[in-house]
Amino acid sequence: MKLKERVLGIVEGLKREYPQAECSLNYEEPYQLLFATRLSAQCTDARVNIVTKELYGRFKTLQEIAECDISELERIVHPCGVYRMKARDIRACANVLLEKHGGRVPDTMEELTALPGVGRKTANLILGDVYGKPAVVADTHCIRISNMLGLCDSKDPKKVEMRLRDIVPPDEQNMLCHRFVWHGRAVCNARSPKCDSCVINKFCKTYQKENHS
């Protein structure tokens, strides 16, 4: 089977299986997603959602976050781990957004990754979810499943991102990454993937190798 055919099979198969897939971080304003993503490093989305509920309840605007008492911010984000660095990045980022971007979250990779604490993963999430641009969020699920499927052969997030940008149609990239997360949680989990019931097993190199070698 040709690569293009496999990619489309994977895109369509996961689309049918998870039509409603979306980012599991809660937010109302773009900056809230930006900070929630910063908090999600080494933390579950479920815990981040609990913390951001308190965070955005306490500080209701970007201005309030920019001017907040750092020890109070640290206390609130403490459950997410690495709390000092996360609090420092969030407050610094709020200041840069206000000073350089008029309080708006920018919509280019270059500007986003220039913000304190913002890497390509976060930038891609904003580009895809907030601005509807082609974007590949190379998180742990995306990297693992792309490798299992044989779409790429690297654990390096940037290499995986670039590879998927090359082979996945641009308007499918963002949602495919969300669906990888859902698929990773429901079926293709790291410890025991449920390959026999996986809806994309016929496009999966790992499955094909194990069952037809």
Just list the catalytic residues: 121, 139
195 φ, ψ to 5°? -65, -35
Q: Give the three-class secondary structure for 189.
A: coil
Contact region with ligand SF4 (CB under 6 A), list: 43-51, 102-110, 162-170, 189-197? 189-197
Which amino acid appears at position 204 of this protein?
C
Q: Does 206 engage in binding with ligand SF4 (CB under 6 A)?
A: yes
Among 129, 153, 187, 191, binds ligand SF4 (CB under 6 A): 187
Query: Can you say whether residue 61 is alpha, beta or left, with left for phi > 0 and alpha for psi between -120 and 50 degrees?
Result: beta
| Rounded-to-10 torsion of CA 86, 44, 198, 160 | 10
200 is an interface residue for ligand SF4 by CB under 6 A: yes
Q: Which of 75, 182, 207, 212 binds ligand SF4 (CB under 6 A)?
A: 207
For residues 153 and 128, what is the distance between their CA atoms, to the nearest angstrom? 24
Does 39 contact ligand SF4 by CB under 6 A? Answer: no
Nearest distance in Å: CB 151, ligand SF4: 10
CB of 210 to ligand SF4, least distance (A): 9
Q: Does 105 bind ligand SF4 (CB under 6 A)?
A: no
148 binds ligand SF4 (CB under 6 A): yes
**Min separation Cβ 98 and ligand SF4, Å:** 43
Minimum CB distance to ligand SF4, residue 128 (Å): 22
DSSP character at residue 168: S
User: How far is it, in rounded angstroms, from Cα 206 to Cα 200?
Assistant: 11
105's tokens = 């979250």
Closest by alpha carbon to 10, among 130, 187, 211, 159? 187
Contact criterion met (CB below 8 Å) for 99 and 66: no
Nearer to ligand SF4, 25 or 200 (CB): 200
Shorter beta-carbon distance to ligand SF4: residue 128 or 193: 193
Cβ closest to ligand SF4, residue 90 vs residue 145: 145
Q: For ligand SF4, how many residues bind (rule: CB under 6 A)?
A: 14
Residues with Cβ < 8 Å from 180, sequence gap 6 or more? 14, 141, 142, 145, 146
Shorter beta-carbon distance to ligand SF4: residue 94 or 177: 177
Inter-residue contact 190 to 144 (CB < 8 Å): yes
Binding positions for ligand SF4, rule: CB under 6 A: 145, 148-149, 187-188, 193-195, 198, 200-201, 204, 206-207
